[in-house]
């Protein structure tokens, strides 16, 4: 503490000397600046002094703790010396025990070597004998086991070999069949390709003929119409007629089909095909060209409607309704026309023309076929009623004849029994007297006549008993 105070005093003295020198050698302004600097340095020195004082207090506290630490250190040194002495004693004891253990271990090793030599000698003899016997027995058993295993193996492998041989044969057959089938398939594929080419060529010829031959288009439409009607169960000449001609105001009219409807009515169907503009539309290169061709297709359909409306088939066939069915042999033909001219349907209806595609005509034809079936069922029911009436009359006549036959059988049985009684009582008695008089009778006996007791069965059913008198009347 005194040394630190002395150092601080010396620092203050040096600072004062320096300050005086600076004040003497400089001006007032510089002196003030130096004074401020010196004050800052003094503050710093004061802070350092305070820090040094704090460190000194800490060092004094540590110095006060050095005494007890020295006592502890001395005690630890004494304890270490005692532990070292104990360790030396333990080491000497352990060394003595180790020397004794080494001596015992050497004696045990020597005894082990002696026993090992004796056991090796005895074991060698025994092992040699046992090994020779074991090898002999092992050879015998191995030979027996080998023979047995070979037999079992042959027994197991024989079915496998047979199966493999069958598999080889089957695989050969399959391979041969596959080769033949592959050749046949190639032939069929080639035939199919040729058929497709022929169908394509035929379809192209059909398209060309339908495009350039109006009569061919008409026949195609009529055939499509006939196919639809026959598919629905209608028969030509029975349920519908083709190529029926009538005389009209504008000349001879010939609708394609007349469908007969129960009740004496008829449906007039005429097939109309418009293909040129439709095919041109779907072969067009631009949308504008396509719309132009479709408009021409719709105009052609409208012209067909007007033509049918002017023919007035309903006036030529009295039993026909007041409209005619225009059959279009494709849904797409009509839908394309309606897409361009939505009022085409109303336009046709106003002219008493009904537009029908295969779908609509199938519904109409099936309805007609169903009505014909109902008509046939009703006709069959009427015929069954007539047959039932006729059968009933014949049954009544048969019942009357049977009743008369029964009455006659009853009378015949009564007459027979009366005759038997008279024959027994008068004729047979006299005949037997000839036998008693020993007259030659040829060895024949007069048989007894048995009366018939069975009666004719009367009808048990009340209906039969009522029917017989009615029939008799």
- Tell me: pLDDT of 153 over 80: no
> What number is the average pLDDT over the span 239-258?
70
- Quick one: pLDDT at residue 395? 84
Helix (H) or strand (E) holding 327: strand 324-327
End-to-end distance of the chain based on CA atoms, in angstroms? 174
> What number is the average pLDDT over the span 352-366?
79
pLDDT, tens digit (0-9, with 9 covering 90-100), for 255-311: 777 777 766 677 788 887 777 777 777 777 788 888 888 888 888 888 888 888 888
- Quick one: pLDDT at residue 80? 77
Higher pLDDT, 312 or 398: 398
Q: What percent of the chain has pLDDT over 90?
A: 0
* Distance, CA of 56 to CA of 48 (rounded, Å): 12
Structure tokens at 170: 């089957």
- Tell me: pLDDT of 24 over 60: no
Structure tokens at 217: 């288009």
- 3-class DSSP state for residue 455? coil
- Quick one: pLDDT at residue 440? 65
Instruction: Decide if 334 contacts 328 (C-beta within 8 A).
Output: yes
- Tell me: pLDDT of 319 over 80: no
Lowest mean pLDDT across 284-288, 436-440, 456-460? 456-460
Lowest mean pLDDT across 294-308, 362-376, 381-395, 438-452? 438-452
- Quick one: pLDDT at residue 472? 43
- Tell me: pLDDT of 382 over 70: yes
Radius of gyration, CA atoms only, the chain: 71
Lowest mean pLDDT across 70-79, 93-102, 232-241, 382-391? 232-241
Higher pLDDT, 31 or 91: 91
Given pLDDT bands bounded at 50, 70 and 90, which one contains residue 157?
Answer: low
Higher pLDDT, 264 or 424: 424
Given pLDDT bands bounded at 50, 70 and 90, which one contains residue 4?
Answer: low
Go through the chain and tell me how many residues it has: 473
What is the layout of strands, in order, in the sheet containing 265-271? 240-242, 257-261, 265-271, 324-327, 353-356
- Quick one: pLDDT at residue 190? 80
260 forms bridges with which residues in the sheet? 266
- Quick one: pLDDT at residue 315? 73
Q: Of 336-350, 363-377, 441-455, give the range with the top mean pLDDT.
A: 336-350
261-345-343 Cα angle (round to 5): 170
Higher pLDDT, 17 or 447: 447
pLDDT, tens digit (0-9, with 9 covering 90-100), for 58-100: 777 776 777 777 777 778 777 777 878 777 777 777 777 777 7
- Tell me: pLDDT of 108 over 60: yes
Determine whether 38 is exposed, middle or buried from the number of CB atoms within 10 Å of its CB (0-12, 13-18, 19+). middle
* 231-245 exposure pattern, b = at least 16 Cβ within 10 A, e = fewer: ebebeeeebbebebe
- Tell me: pLDDT of 314 over 60: yes
CB atoms within 10 A of CB 327: 25
- Bridge pairing between strands 251-253 and 353-356: unpaired
* Distance, CA of 339 to CA of 345 (rounded, Å): 11
- Tell me: pLDDT of 471 over 50: no
Lowest mean pLDDT across 23-32, 42-51, 427-436? 23-32
- Bridge pairing between strands 353-356 and 324-327: parallel
Query: What secondary structure letter does DSSP report for 443?
Result: T
């Amino acid at each position: 503490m005194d040394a630190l105070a002395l150092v601080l005093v010396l620092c203050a003295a040096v600072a004062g000397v320096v300050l005086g020198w600076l004040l003497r050698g400089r001006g007032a302004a510089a002196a003030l600046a130096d004074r401020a600097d010196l004050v800052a340095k003094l503050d710093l020195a004061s802070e350092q002094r305070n820090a040094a004082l704090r460190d000194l207090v800490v060092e004094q506290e540590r110095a006060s703790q050095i005494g007890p630490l020295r006592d502890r250190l001395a005690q630890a040194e004494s304890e270490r010396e005692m532990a070292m002495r104990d360790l030396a004693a333990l080491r000497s004891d352990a060394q003595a025990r180790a020397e004794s253990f080494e001596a015992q271990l050497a004696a045990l090793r020597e005894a082990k070597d002696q026993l090992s030599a004796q056991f090796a000698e005895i074991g060698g003899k025994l092992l040699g004998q046992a090994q020779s016997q074991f090898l002999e027995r092992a050879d015998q058993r191995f030979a027996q086991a080998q023979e047995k295993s070979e037999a079992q193996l042959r027994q197991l492998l024989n079915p496998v070999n047979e199966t493999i041989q069958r598999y080889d044969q089957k695989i050969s057959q399959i391979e041969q069949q596959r080769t033949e089938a592959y050749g046949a398939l190639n032939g069929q594929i080639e035939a199919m390709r040729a058929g497709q080419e022929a169908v394509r060529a035929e379809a192209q010829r059909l398209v060309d003929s339908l495009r350039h031959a109006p009569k061919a288009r008409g026949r195609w439409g009529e055939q499509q119409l006939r196919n639809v009607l026959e598919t629905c169960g209608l028969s030509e000449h029975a349920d519908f007629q083709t190529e029926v001609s009538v005389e009209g105001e504008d000349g001879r009219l010939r609708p394609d089909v007349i469908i007969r409807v129960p009740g004496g009515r008829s449906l007039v169907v005429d097939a109309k095909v418009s293909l040129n503009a439709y095919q041109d539309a779907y072969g067009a290169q631009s949308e504008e060209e396509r719309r132009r061709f479709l408009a021409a297709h719709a105009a052609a359909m409208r012209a067909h409607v007007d033509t049918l409306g002017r023919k007035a088939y309903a006036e030529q066939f009295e039993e026909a309704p007041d409209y005619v069915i225009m059959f279009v042999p494709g849904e797409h033909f009509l839908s394309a026309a309606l897409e361009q001219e939505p009022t085409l349907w109303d336009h046709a209806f106003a002219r008493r023309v009904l537009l029908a595609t295969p779908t609509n005509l199938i519904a109409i034809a099936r309805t007609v076929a169903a009505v014909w079936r109902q008509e046939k069922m009703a006709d069959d029911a009427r015929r069954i009623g007539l047959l039932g009436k006729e059968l009933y009359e014949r049954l009544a006549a048969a019942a009357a004849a049977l009743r008369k036959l029964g009455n006659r059988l009853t009378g015949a049985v009564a007459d027979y029994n009366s005759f038997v009684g008279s024959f027994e009582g008068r004729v047979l008695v006299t005949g037997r007297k000839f036998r008693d008089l020993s007259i030659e009778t040829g060895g024949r006996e007069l048989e007894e006549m048995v009366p018939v007791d069975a009666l004719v069965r009367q009808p048990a059913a009340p209906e039969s008993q009522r029917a017989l008198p009615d029939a008799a009347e």
